[in-house]
């Protein structure tokens, strides 16, 4: 796989949707966030690092009368262009949404999350998925050195009913780390239709998608706090450390699901 270089620019709202587990809803969430921003008239690019190319496929199916979203097929190897030329984002792009592949090595994880304003981890409710997500979060904090105090990291519970044992376990784990679950998406054919038709939930018949759009709006409004979160980062000394009590929780998560 090519190196996961992502471009840097001041004031770029870079959102990374990440979880090495396939099928947890990364592309679903990435495309729906993109459609929401595009509908607001905010210039949006999605960058697809997954060789399965679901996000690029969604963009190909997108009806031409809907707001334009720029797509970059970052999973493709270039023959003729340099990597940075292939990955260049249009100058007028305000929001960059990065859809990531299954299974990232440590270097890729650091690279893909570099300069991210927000990182979303979608999690399915099964205990296997929750294990995988716990390890993913542990890697983000320990390997990619995401500082929890920057509040860049959030979980989206996908295809979930709130009142299950496994959901309660996930909540406890995230609580202990101070990572918020910003939305709970239900299992709904609306997401399947959105994928099939190349549209976002916000572009579908409102009466059909209301509860799903409400959750999506929660995600977008959390994302929109990025500039504020960045400003409030307490990083006076420049020294970044996870409190040691938390590290042991994380190491346990890394080991137990390895
Ligand atoms: N909340 C949901 N309700 C119903 N189907 C969903 C939901 N989220 C995702 N799906 C479906 O599950 C499959 C996997 O989702 P996808 O977003 O492609 O996962 P990933 O990108 O993480 O591999 C897709 O067919 C998608 O339409
Ligand atoms: Mg995908």
Supply the CATH number for residue 248's domain.
3.40.50.300
Distance 34 CA to ligand 1 centre (A): 16
Q: Is the CB of 27 inside a 6 Å radius of any atom of ligand 1? A: yes
Q: What is the 3-state secondary structure (H, E, C) of 39-67?
A: HCCCCEEEEECCCCCHHHHHHHHCCCCCC
Tokens for 210, please give them: 């209301």
Distance 101 CA to ligand 2 centre (A): 7
Largest Cα separation within the chain, whole Å, is 53
Is 5 a member of any domain?
Answer: no
Q: Does residue 97 form part of some domain?
A: yes
Does residue 70 fall inside a structural domain? yes
User: What does pTM read for this prediction?
Assistant: 0.89
pLDDT tens digits, one per residue of 69-96: 999 999 988 777 788 888 889 999 999 9
Residue 121 structural domain? 13-230+242-256
Check pocket membership of 195 for ligand 1, CB cut-off 6 A: yes
Domain assignment present for 49: yes
Rounded to whole angstroms, the Cα distance separating 176 from 172 reads: 6
In this predicted model, what pLDDT tens digit does every residue of 204-240 receive, in sequence order?
Answer: 999 999 999 999 999 999 999 988 887 776 544 444 5
Evaluate whether residue 235 is within a structural domain.
no
Distance CA 87, CA 71 (A): 10
**Residue 255 three-state SS:** helix
18, 21, 25: residue to mutate for ligand 1 pocket, most atoms within 8 A of CB: 25
With respect to residue 1, please indicate whether it lies within any of the assigned structural domains.
no
Residue 4 lies in a domain: no
Q: How many domains does the chain have?
A: 1
């Amino acid at each position: 796989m090519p190196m996961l270089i992502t471009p840097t620019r001041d004031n770029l709202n870079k959102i990374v949707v990440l979880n090495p587990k396939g099928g947890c809803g990364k592309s679903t969430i990435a495309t729906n966030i993109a459609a929401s921003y595009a509908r607001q008239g905010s210039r949006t690019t999605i960058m697809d690092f997954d060789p399965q190319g679901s996000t690029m496929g969604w963009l190909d199916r997108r009806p031409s009368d809907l707001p334009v979203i720029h797509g970059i097929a970052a999973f493709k190897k270039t023959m003729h262009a340099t990597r940075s030329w292939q990955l260049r984002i249009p100058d007028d792009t305000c929001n960059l949404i990065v859809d990531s592949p299954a299974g990232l090595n440590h270097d890729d994880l650091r690279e893909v999350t570099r300069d991210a304003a927000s990182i979303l981890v979608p999690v399915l409710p099964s205990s296997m998925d929750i294990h995988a997500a716990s390890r993913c979060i542990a890697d983000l904090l320990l390997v990619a050195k995401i500082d929890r105090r920057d509040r860049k990291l959030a979980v989206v519970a996908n295809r979930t009913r709130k009142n299950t044992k496994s959901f309660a376990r996930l909540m406890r784990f995230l609580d202990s780390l101070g990572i918020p679950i910003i939305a709970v998406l239900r299992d709904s054919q609306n997401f399947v239709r959105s994928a099939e038709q190349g549209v976002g939930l916000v572009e579908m018949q409102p009466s059909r998608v209301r509860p799903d759009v409400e959750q999506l709006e929660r995600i977008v409004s959390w994302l929109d706090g990025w500039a504020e979160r960045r400003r409030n980062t307490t990083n006076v000394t420049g020294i970044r450390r996870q409190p040691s009590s938390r590290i042991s929780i994380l190491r346990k998560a890394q080991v137990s699901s390895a």
